[in-house]
């Protein structure tokens, strides 16, 4: 999920290009047809829907390329206003009788959010702040992630998820913000400390292993190899069982079975 969010943030302009073309090239055309086919359309509703079509038709890819800041909040507010007009009991144009119009407008509103409210859409669709309330399970998952060699590379996701916790806060409950902020910070620090310890242990193991391998190449260890070679040629050892051959440096790299791995 973190990777997907990063991709959305990175390729935001690409998505804007796509949805701007979608709004102007498809949504505007379909909405215009739906409006034209309405049997009854009061003046206020007609003005609002015409403004929808005009707003979408005026969009172009060049606006994205020029770095123009889009703002469709007015359009979304007009859609709320239109729903209010068409949902009262004595409305001449009832939204309940024109379901296709409602579906189309909801789709259009989603497309506008993908252009000007991408960050809010990320929070709405991929917020992982739920882990704030299950911190015990969250910590256990982190420990399991570190223990599994195939999963440990993804452990950085846990401190990243701590940034989601602030989405739990609400402006109507400001006193919670401080507590949740402290909680997310302490968890993040704990995860980073554990990852640092794990990295330290791994580096220490690698250094120890490298020292052992380097030690095998020292001149003092070649005496036995030389003596074995001499004894093999010697007539005295004929018929007698010689010493078992000592493993030479580099044998650890030659695996007959891929499942058997060394440090």
Report the 3 state secondary structure along 155-194: CCHHHHHHHHHHHHCCCCCHHHHHHHHHHHHHHHHHHHHH
pLDDT at 152 over 80: yes
Return the pLDDT at 90.
80
pLDDT at 180 over 90: no
Q: Which two tokens stand for residue 17?
A: 């290009």
DSSP code at position 238: T
Kindly report, residue by residue over 30-49, the tens digit of the pLDDT: 999 988 888 777 888 889 98
The Cα–Cα gap between 149 and 143 comes to: 12
* Backbone dihedral region for residue 250 (phi beyond 0: left; psi -120 to 50: alpha; all else: beta): left
Is the Cβ–Cβ distance between 168 and 181 less than 8 Å? no
Judge residue 121's burial from the number of C-beta atoms within 10 Å of its C-beta, 0-12 exposed, 13-18 middle, 19 or more buried.
middle
pLDDT at 77 over 80: yes
Return the pLDDT at 243.
60
Alpha-carbon distances of 247 from 206, 211, 223, 226, 263, rounded to whole Å: 21, 17, 13, 13, 17
Percent of the chain with pLDDT over 70: 92
For 19, other C-beta atoms within 10 Å of its C-beta total 22
Range name among 50-54, 100-104, 240-244 with the lowest pLDDT average = 240-244
What is the pTM for the complete model shown? Answer: 0.66
- Residue 26: which residues within 8 A CB-CB, separation 6 or more? none
The Cα–Cα gap between 181 and 110 comes to: 31
Return the pLDDT at 140.
93
């Amino acid at each position: 999920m973190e990777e997907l969010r990063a991709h959305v943030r990175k390729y935001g302009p690409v998505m804007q290009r796509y949805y701007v073309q979608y709004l102007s090239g498809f949504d505007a055309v379909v909405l215009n047809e739906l409006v034209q086919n309405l049997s009854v359309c009061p003046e206020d509703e007609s003005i609002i829907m015409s403004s929808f079509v005009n707003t979408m038709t005026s969009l172009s890819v060049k606006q994205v390329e020029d770095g123009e800041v889009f703002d469709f909040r007015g359009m979304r507010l007009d859609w709320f206003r239109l729903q209010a007009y068409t949902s009262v009991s004595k409305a001449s144009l009832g939204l309940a009788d024109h379901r296709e119009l409602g579906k189309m407008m909801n789709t259009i509103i989603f497309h506008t959010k993908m252009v000007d409210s991408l960050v809010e859409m990320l929070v709405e669709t991929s917020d992982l702040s739920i882990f704030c309330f299950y911190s015990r399970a969250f910590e256990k998952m982190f420990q399991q992630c570190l223990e599994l060699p195939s999963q440990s590379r993804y452990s950085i996701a846990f401190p990243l998820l701590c940034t989601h916790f602030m989405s739990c806060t609400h402006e109507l409950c400001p006193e919670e913000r401080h507590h949740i902020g402290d909680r997310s910070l302490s968890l993040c620090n704990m995860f980073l400390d554990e990852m640092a310890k794990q990295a330290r242990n791994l580096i220490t193991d690698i250094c120890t292993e490298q020292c052992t391998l380097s030690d095998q190449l020292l001149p003092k260890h070649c005496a036995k190899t030389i003596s074995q070679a001499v004894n093999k040629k010697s007539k005295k050892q004929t018929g007698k069982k010689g010493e078992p051959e000592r493993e030479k440096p580099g044998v650890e790299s030659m695996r007959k079975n891929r499942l058997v791995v060394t440090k």
